[in-house]
Amino acid sequence: MKETTVLEAIREALAEEMERDRTVFMIGEDIGQFGGALGQTKGLFEKFGDERILDTPISEAAIVGAAVGASMLGMRPIADIMFTDFSTLAMDQIINQAAKARFMSGGKVSVPVVIKMQSGAGRGKAAQHSQSFEAIYSHIPGLKVVMPSTPYDAKGLFKSAIRDNDPVVYMEHGSLYGIKGQIPEEDYTIPIGVGDIKREGKDISIITYSYMVHKALAAAKTLEADGIDVEIVDLRTLRPMDTDIIIESVKKTHRVVVLHEACVTGGIGGEIVAKIAENAFDYIDAPIKRVGVPDVPIPYAKSLEDTIVPNEEKLITCIKEVLEGI
């Protein structure tokens, strides 16, 4: 094992997959000699050249469109979208082309493309650079949606996404990039659609994913002093979602808080609650609560952003309310 950051783990996965398979390439803005606006391709242009690390004009529609077309012809492209907010400019290519090609061709055309994007708030980037669109993409049949929380998960899931024969939306929270963790020296993958218990507990389950896993872990540690034992379920993949891991945790703890950074209305939390209601209703001993962002755009001012984005204090309050039956 070795210690690395989420950003380094993602970059390492990309380099290894490009070495393993010559059909893998990345296309996006400023990913060549500049090394990526976020450092995501640092050193890769020099290693693989401009035919496999392709710089593009500022056009998300062109980036995704070219990647989808190349994937239909046997390549395995990664379309790099700097911020998830900008993916709205490529909605037709993602939703109407990539997601539907296999179905509309009767299975004759596969689309092994990864649409990689940074998501999330908490860094003062304001309303057009801080959104969480995972519920939008999870709603679309034909797409797989991955959101890792640790270096281990980030690398293993990115490799699985690249090797997958269907389109995968790979969303990484910008606040995760510097988080460190252990990863194996040898090659490994993590199956898409399999969640993970990040912390065993018996009193209440927190169902979450991405950066919010770390908020949940911090809250669980604080609540230990009050004798509250919190279980944390990291979904890792939102489509397909690991329903079994959710239900098994609910059967053990009988109480649930769903945590995500997206707006509460229409968020993935509603789908999680529905799965629990459909599959484990008899095991619930208290109302399920959701913690998310109020239905407002993300503010630029740090004081306002801190007010609306879920944090440890808000989560602890919600957990205690569920345990008290409020």
The tens digit of pLDDT for each residue in 208-265 reads: 999 999 999 999 999 999 999 999 999 999 999 999 999 999 999 999 999 999 999 9
Rounded distance between C-alpha atoms, residue 62 and residue 287, angstroms: 46
**Residue 269 in tokens:** 């939390």
Fold category of 196-324 in CATH? Rossmann fold (3.40.50)
> What architecture (CATH level 2) is domain 2-183?
3-Layer(aba) Sandwich (3.40)
Strands 53-55 and 24-28, by their bridges, are parallel
- Taking Cα atoms as reference points, which of 119, 138, 139 lies closest to residue 129? 119
Query: Tens of pLDDT along 284-309?
Result: 999 999 999 999 999 999 999 999 99
Rounded distance between C-alpha atoms, residue 232 and residue 199, angstroms: 5
Q: Where are the alpha helices (DSSP H) in the chain?
A: 6-20, 44-48, 60-72, 91, 101-104, 134-138, 151-163, 212-223, 243-253, 268-279, 302-308, 312-324
Active-site residues: which are they? Answer: 129
Could you check whether 2-183 and 196-324 share the same CATH topology? yes
Q: How far is CA 75 from CA 52, 135, 198, in A?
A: 11, 28, 35
Query: Tens of pLDDT along 153-167?
Result: 999 999 999 999 999
Give percent of the chain with pLDDT exceeding 70.
Answer: 100
- Residue 130's pLDDT is what? 95
Name the residue type at position 130. Answer: S
- Residue 325's pLDDT is what? 84
Reduced to 3 states (helix: H, G, I; strand: E, B; else coil), residue 302 is helix
Cis peptide before 112 (omega within 30 of 0): no
Give me the residue spans of the domains in the chain. Answer: 2-183, 196-324
Query: Tens of pLDDT along 32-54?
Result: 999 998 889 999 999 999 999 99
Reduced to 3 states (helix: H, G, I; strand: E, B; else coil), residue 64 is helix
Query: Tens of pLDDT along 19-35?
Result: 999 999 999 999 999 99
Query: Tens of pLDDT along 90-121?
Result: 999 999 999 999 999 999 999 999 999 999 99
pLDDT at residue 326 above 70?
A: no
Rounded distance between C-alpha atoms, residue 12 and residue 256, angstroms: 36
- Taking Cα atoms as reference points, which of 37, 29, 58, 34 lies closest to residue 45? 34
> CA 80, 192, 241 angle in degrees (round to 5)?
105
Q: What is the pTM of this model?
A: 0.96
- Residue 103's pLDDT is what? 97
Query: Tens of pLDDT along 309-323?
Result: 999 999 999 999 999
Query: Tens of pLDDT along 171-192?
Result: 999 999 999 999 999 999 999 9
